[in-house]
Amino acid sequence: MAISDVKEYTHLTAEDVEQLGRELDAIRAEVEESRSAADAAYINRLIRIQRGLAAAGRGAMLASAHAKGGRPALVAGTAMLGLAKILENMEIGHNVMHGQWDWMNDPEIHSSNWEWDTAQPAEQWKHSHNYIHHQFTNVLGHDNDIGYGVLRMAREQKWHPVHLGQPVYNALLAGLFQWGVALHDLDIERIRKLEKDPKEMKRQLRQILRKGRNQILKDYVVYPALSGKQWKSTLKANATANLTRNLWSYMIIFCGHFPDGALHFTEEELEDETRAEWYLRQMLGSANFEGGRTLHILSGSLGFQIEHHLFPDLPSNRYPEIAVKVRALCDKYDLPYTTGPLYRQYGQTLRTIMKLSLPNKMSSSDQPEPPTQPADRKRRSDDERQSRRAELGGWSRSPRERSHD
């Protein structure tokens, strides 16, 4: 059941919550002060490796097209390109656009002008993800990441026969994830409710088309054309690399907020929420998974989802050390710290997707129950909920278009 008051849910006094907030602020300050050349070297090295992999992968594919017996080169090229795309989207692009490396004062690795190797324009992602998702994390009706406007992911969301198709939608979303993400900031729900400013919608669509067109041209026209007679195998190899990246990022991202311990919230929680309560909501709404250093880098450090949601703009290579401290705080304040192996976290997510394709009465909830029932227990469909905050003012206008105002 969604939570309307995190303080009440956690049985902490207001003073406890504020103290917790101060301790988290202290962790933040400590990391900010100790950022150094070693951290800068980490991201610079990763970018070198990623670009090297991408270039080598493309090169190997082209070489395989123009050499006899090029099969192993084609396979190796596909693997390198897939890996490069995963690294770029997850540990590099996602984290750079969060501003994790802005402190370096390097304009080539900066949130304000990074453009990533996927269909969604960076500017739109920074709104739908950095702002909407990270500010209103797991608040029903506010956070569009709950089901991406496609899936029913919370029992509070009203069931509709259309949800019977969830297993299929889920598979499609996984395979086409970059295009799902590309449309994310358009906010299908608002369009459906006719609340979207048509001018803004057109501008966003144009931006998506331009970016998507370049992405498609690169992978499905230009490189295959360069491969001459072997154009088909290059096209297939590029499609494979994209699909691998889509499936991987879908799985990692779905493990962030849908394993059983990750809670949802109602909009009542947002009223007068303090910064410390915001921290608490981030902790209760996120879920980690366990693994080695390589797994964490390949997942964009999102195995440290709890830490990432507490400090989305601290450098990702510092999350492991932050996690030790956050976990200790959870023990101290007797707060849940949701984590588990990747297969279990994803298994629970998949179970929720399947269960919620059916009406609530046909399945049981896997989420912990709040101690007291929130006052307003009436279940509301998305159509009945009040619209998201109105303050989405001038955020999304790109610098170029802004200057024409």
Partner 1 sequence: MTAGSTISWDRVRKAGSKLTTPLHPDDYLRLINPLWTSRELRGRVEKVVKETEDAATLVIKPGWGWRWSHRPGQYIGIGVPVDGKFQWRSYSVSSPTKRRGHTIAITIRAMPEGLLSSHLVNGLAPGTIVRLAAPEGDFTLPDPPPARMLFLVGGSGVTPVMSMLRTLDRRGTMPEVVMHYSSPTPDRMIFRDELLALEKKHEGFTLHQLHTDTDGILDLGELDAICSDWRERETWACGPSPMLDAISAHFEAAGLEDRLHLERFTLELGGAGGEGGTLTFRNSGKQVEADGATTILEAGEEVGVGMPFGCRMGICHTCTLTLVSGTVRDLRSGDEFGQPNEPVQTCITAAVGDCTFDI
**Where does this chain bind partner 1 (CB under 8 A)?**
29, 32, 35-41, 48, 51-52, 55, 58, 98-99, 102-108, 110-112, 115-117, 126-127, 130-131, 134-135, 211, 214-215, 217-218, 222-223, 275, 278, 312-313, 391, 393-397, 399, 402-403, 405
Least distance (Å) from partner 1 to the CB of residue 101? 9
Least distance (Å) from partner 1 to the CB of residue 311? 9
Least distance (Å) from partner 1 to the CB of residue 183? 18
Cβ proximity to partner 1: between 62 and 353 the closer is 62
Q: Are 110 and 267 in contact (CB under 8 A)?
A: no
Helices (H), 88-186: 95-97, 122-125, 134-135, 166-175, 177-182
Could you tell me the two tokens for 352? 């929720």
Q: Taking the mean position of all CA atoms in its chain, how far away is CA 169?
A: 18
Contacts of 137 by beta carbon, 8 Å cutoff, 6+ apart: 143, 257, 281, 282, 285, 286, 309
How far is it, in rounded angstroms, from Cα 336 to Cα 262?
9
Cβ–Cβ contacts within 10 Å for residue 152, how many? 23
**CB-based burial of residue 41 (10 Å sphere; 0-12 exposed, 13-18 middle, 19+ buried)?**
exposed
How far is it, in rounded angstroms, from Cα 323 to Cα 285?
16
Q: Are 77 and 57 in contact (CB under 8 A)?
A: yes
Cβ proximity to partner 1: between 38 and 194 the closer is 38
Least distance (Å) from partner 1 to the CB of residue 341? 29
Least distance (Å) from partner 1 to the CB of residue 47? 9
Picking from 181, 174, 175, the residue whose alpha carbon sits closest to that of residue 127 is: 181
Beta bridge partners of 139: 265
**CB-based burial of residue 172 (10 Å sphere; 0-12 exposed, 13-18 middle, 19+ buried)?**
middle
Cβ proximity to partner 1: between 134 and 196 the closer is 134
Least distance (Å) from partner 1 to the CB of residue 230? 17
Cβ proximity to partner 1: between 246 and 317 the closer is 317
Cβ proximity to partner 1: between 115 and 197 the closer is 115
Least distance (Å) from partner 1 to the CB of residue 126? 6
Contacts of 190 by beta carbon, 8 Å cutoff, 6+ apart: 196, 387, 388
How far is it, in rounded angstroms, from Cα 18 to Cα 32?
21
Helices (H), 218-302: 223-226, 231-254, 275-285, 293-298
Cβ proximity to partner 1: between 135 and 381 the closer is 135
Least distance (Å) from partner 1 to the CB of residue 20? 17
φ/ψ (deg, to 5) at 374 = -60, 155
Least distance (Å) from partner 1 to the CB of residue 36? 5
Cβ proximity to partner 1: between 110 and 344 the closer is 110
Cβ proximity to partner 1: between 28 and 327 the closer is 28
Cβ proximity to partner 1: between 173 and 208 the closer is 208
Least distance (Å) from partner 1 to the CB of residue 214? 4
Cβ proximity to partner 1: between 166 and 215 the closer is 215
